[in-house]
Structure 1
Amino acid sequence: MRIPEELLHFIWRFRLFKPLMMKTTCGKQVQVIKPGQFNEHAGPDFLFAELKIAGQQWFGHIELHVDAKDWMVHRHHQDEAYNAVILHVIWEGEMACYLSDGTWIPNLNLQQLVDEEVLEKALDLLHNGHWLSCAYRMKKIPMHIKLQTVQRAAVERLEGRYQQIMLQNKRFKGDWERITLSMLAGSFGFKVNKQAFLDWAELINLKLLAKFADKPKSIQAMFFGQAGFLTAYKGKESYPTQLQKEYEYIKQGFGLAEMSVYQWKFLRMRPANFPTIRLAQLAGLYHIRTNWFSKIVSSHYVEDIKQELRNTTINKYWRTHYHFEKTTEDHSNEFSETFTDLLVINCFAPLLFAYGKHIRKTGHMDLAMEWLESIGAEENVVTRKYRKSGLPSFSAMESQGLLHLQTHYCDLKKCLNCPIGAYILQQPIDV
């Protein structure tokens, strides 16, 4: 039976073989004292293993292949990185294997040492047609295993965001306020206008924002002007014409650049998410303070930040408009509770976590996770699918974990790298 190599790795990693029957293909008894550390990078599959072969103790690395000839196919016999390999673990085939210095290394065939039920469960898990491969056993998975899986995925998601933020940190030369503006802008754009908001944020001068901190109309003029909306405006309403005049003055005085208004999208969006409304709210935020990063890293309670968002003042023009020129009935232009939660999830918590990891301050990282745990779980297609399959989420930390779990594990069928998949394969067949 041909098996995927990741299953062979899994069997070795968790010792799902019959230890008393282990012999090399040349008949020497093998005892696994330590299977080694699983290596996700280049080089042998397991590092720093400890074995006894024919009673002699060995320390070194382990390489695994489904077919014995893969040692030669992958040219390990020419690679000095494999010279510390002490055992070649295989599933099928027979071939003498040598290190680059000519040293012979023994083969261990696992196929006869693994119970059929382990393979049966693995194939059920890896090849069933359900979008969530473990759904058929989910009801029998202990809650602590489910929580461990989701929380680990949430941390991995934050680690992934850290990598992205570090790229911005390099690009912006360590200017965390600039990084914050970029992340805030991206969050305000959602999927539809995210790139437009990111392009817009590139044009904004933070020093100029600080200069106009006590002049809300100037900030509004900058934000809408550099977004291209004021150049495109042809009406005669008082508020936008005032912004036009203010923007023209600032533009000439400081050499501002602007986007094309056609980069912004309005179709098939709720009016409350129109980019004009979101820009008005961002202008309100940066009137309150221009150092949002400082606020984030100095706040112990996320509620302090959310309260500032609730207190943000937005020009009254936007109570009767969703975009320029068209008047509507009076409506709220304040931050909704759902939107403030999304800002914490997508901007504030990842920023705090990344900064804490960057300066090696675990307190910031722990606090970022506490913020996510203090917010209710997101309600979306992904969380509903998992809940229906028996994997609910109760906080934003967990719903973020589910999003990561779907894209990085479930969709890719990486069940053998998931604690739930590992649990299923290590339990008796009826569990």
Structure 2
Amino acid sequence: MLFTEDFLHYVWKFRLFDRLNLQTTEGEELEVYSAGLHNTHAGPDFQNARIRIGETTWAGNAELHLSSSDWQRHGHTTDNAYDNVILHVVYRDDEPLIRKDGKRVPTLELKDRINPDLYNRYHNLVFGTQTIIPCEASIAKVDGLTMENWLTRILVERLEKRSETVIAALNQNRGDWEETFYQFLAANFGFKTNALPFELMAKSLPQSILGKHKNSPMQIEALIFGQAGFLNEDFADEYPQKLKNEYEFLQKKFSLTPIENHLWKFLRMRPQNFPTIRLAQFAALVVQSNHLFSKILETKEVKQLRDLFSNLQVNPYWETHYRFDKESKPAGKHLGASSVDTILLNTVALFLFSYGRHLQQQYFISRALKLLENIPGEQNNITADFANLGLKINTAFESQALLELKNNYCDHKKCLQCGVGIKILKPA
């Protein structure tokens, strides 16, 4: 049989083996009252198991291996953490296990106690030739409650991992949530292509400097375009030349160093997404939004959150330009609905969750999840694959969870750690 130790863990955890007339390899009567708690960290595999061997009931740890001899190969013989193992559960008992005191560790062999049908379903799932995900033939048949519960769990997993980046940045910013949010929001305005230069620009231009010029949109725009490295030349148009003049004064006043202009990417982008347009929109947001993160914490309705980023008053110059000194046909340059949703998804929801988790306030975590339930689901190759398998993806709550499922479970064939995989394998 071809399987991993994870399969043995799964069989033991859910007691999916023939439990009739259980005996240790030495012939003692054995009964399993509790398989114990699955330990995914260092130490024995299952903690606080309860079993009866002969007339004695034991409480302690259970260790699992494919073969008894793995105990020695894994170095458990000299590890004191394994001294209180009360049962060694193995697929094949190929050598007796002796403790330091010379006594044999009770061993349960499962080789002839696993249902072949269970093994075959596991083998087809993990070692099959599926093209999208291991359970592609079965996932659409999984009941709605199981899917909902599992997607909720792994969405929280995803947000917990992403929030660690937020908290690390928060610590670098000495606990300043507004500054941290401003930096992440800037990176979001760059989307994937220009996220890095946007982030570098924001870090080079603290909000404390922008705050001194809140009443002057021209100076805010000059600071942002100047720090982005777009004001290092002479211009034919009046607007960019005014920005340049303003920036030269402010640069000296605050000893500012702009980022390298070559970091910005225009190639193969729709003009609406050019970094110059995104910077203009970001400047408009800075002008009209004081203490934005505080406003977000206070704003409960999703529509009101959207309004914070919609209808930004971008400088009229950009209505007829996508780049400085290059006139174009008139077109509105406000943030589109999909761009606003991307900001709500990747920055606002993440920060609400991170804030709630950091301060242990469930209210903000619940708000983050509710926000994701009110954002349309993302459209990408992964969500398209799941849709083709029969799953309905209506909200960002679902699409974000499915991204986590695909990238951190399906791609690594962690079917035995996945609520969907366990449900599919579970005997009827």
Please list, as runs of the form range in 1=range in 2, the aligned pairs for 1:223-238 lying within 5 A after superposition: 223-231=224-232, 233-238=233-238
2:384 equivalent to 1:384: yes
- Looking at structure 2, the residues matched to 195 and 105 of structure 1 have their Cα atoms a distance apart, in angstroms, of 56
- Looking at structure 1, the residues matched to 89 and 306 of structure 2 have their Cα atoms a distance apart, in angstroms, of 55
Match for residue 9 of structure 1? 9
Match for residue 83 of structure 1? 83
| Deviation for aligned residue 1:174 | 1.0
Per-residue Cα deviation, 1:59-97 (whole angstroms, up to 9, x for no partner): 111111112111111111111112221111111242222
Report SS of the residue matched to 1:108.
strand
> Contact 1:21–1:113 at 8 Å: present in 2 too?
no
Report SS of the residue matched to 1:309.
coil
Match for residue 273 of structure 2? 273
| Counterparts in 2 of 1:98 and 1:224: CA distance versus 1, 3 Å | farther
| Deviation for aligned residue 1:99 | 4.5
Identity of aligned residues (%): 37
- Looking at structure 2, the residues matched to 337 and 86 of structure 1 have their Cα atoms a distance apart, in angstroms, of 60
2:259 equivalent to 1:259: yes
Per-residue Cα deviation, 1:398-431 (whole angstroms, up to 9, x for no partner): 1110111110011111111111110111134xxx
- Looking at structure 1, the residues matched to 222 and 63 of structure 2 have their Cα atoms a distance apart, in angstroms, of 63
> Contact 2:48–2:61 at 8 Å: present in 1 too?
yes
- Looking at structure 2, the residues matched to 246 and 99 of structure 1 have their Cα atoms a distance apart, in angstroms, of 79
2:168 equivalent to 1:167: yes
| Counterparts in 2 of 1:247 and 1:101: CA distance versus 1, 3 Å | farther
2:291 equivalent to 1:291: yes
What amino acid maps onto 1:247 in structure 2?
Y
What amino acid maps onto 1:65 in structure 2?
H
- Looking at structure 2, the residues matched to 82 and 111 of structure 1 have their Cα atoms a distance apart, in angstroms, of 23
Per-residue Cα deviation, 1:369-392 (whole angstroms, up to 9, x for no partner): 001111121122211110101222
Per-residue Cα deviation, 1:167-200 (whole angstroms, up to 9, x for no partner): 1122222111121012111211122111222222
Per-residue Cα deviation, 1:199-244 (whole angstroms, up to 9, x for no partner): 222101211111111111111111110010111x332101100000
- Looking at structure 2, the residues matched to 171 and 103 of structure 1 have their Cα atoms a distance apart, in angstroms, of 54
Q: Where do 5+ consecutive residues of structure 1 fail to align? A: none
> Contact 2:67–2:91 at 8 Å: present in 1 too?
yes
> Contact 2:31–2:52 at 8 Å: present in 1 too?
yes
> Contact 1:182–1:198 at 8 Å: present in 2 too?
yes
| Counterparts in 2 of 1:276 and 1:21: CA distance versus 1, 3 Å | farther
| Counterparts in 2 of 1:104 and 1:299: CA distance versus 1, 3 Å | farther
- Looking at structure 2, the residues matched to 94 and 288 of structure 1 have their Cα atoms a distance apart, in angstroms, of 73
Match for residue 116 of structure 1? 116
Match for residue 53 of structure 2? 53
Moved more, 81-90 or 279-288: 81-90
2:141 equivalent to 1:140: yes
2:321 equivalent to 1:309: no
Match for residue 406 of structure 2? 406
Moved more, 285-294 or 115-124: 285-294
Match for residue 240 of structure 1? 240
Backbone CA RMSD of aligned residues: 1.4
> Contact 1:82–1:99 at 8 Å: present in 2 too?
no
Please list, as runs of the form range in 1=range in 2, the aligned pairs for 1:331-410 lying within 5 A after superposition: 331-410=331-410
What amino acid maps onto 2:177 in structure 1?
W
Match for residue 212 of structure 2? 211
Report SS of the residue matched to 2:7.
helix
1 or 2, which has the higher helix percentage? Answer: 1
Match for residue 150 of structure 1? 151
| Counterparts in 2 of 1:207 and 1:99: CA distance versus 1, 3 Å | farther
- Looking at structure 2, the residues matched to 92 and 79 of structure 1 have their Cα atoms a distance apart, in angstroms, of 22
What amino acid maps onto 2:193 in structure 1?
V
> Contact 1:383–1:392 at 8 Å: present in 2 too?
no
Per-residue Cα deviation, 1:91-120 (whole angstroms, up to 9, x for no partner): 124222245566532111112111000100
Match for residue 418 of structure 1? 418
- Looking at structure 2, the residues matched to 412 and 290 of structure 1 have their Cα atoms a distance apart, in angstroms, of 44
2:185 equivalent to 1:184: yes
| Deviation for aligned residue 1:138 | 2.6
What amino acid maps onto 1:153 in structure 2?
I
| Counterparts in 2 of 1:103 and 1:184: CA distance versus 1, 3 Å | farther
- Looking at structure 2, the residues matched to 22 and 281 of structure 1 have their Cα atoms a distance apart, in angstroms, of 70
- Looking at structure 2, the residues matched to 285 and 399 of structure 1 have their Cα atoms a distance apart, in angstroms, of 28
> Contact 1:209–1:290 at 8 Å: present in 2 too?
no
> Contact 2:179–2:206 at 8 Å: present in 1 too?
no
- Looking at structure 2, the residues matched to 238 and 169 of structure 1 have their Cα atoms a distance apart, in angstroms, of 40
Match for residue 195 of structure 2? 194
Report SS of the residue matched to 2:86.
strand
Q: TM-score, normalised by structure 1?
A: 0.96
Report SS of the residue matched to 2:137.
helix
2:109 equivalent to 1:125: no
Q: Where do 5+ consecutive residues of structure 2 fail to align? A: none
The size of the alignment, in residue pairs, is: 427
Report SS of the residue matched to 2:412.
coil
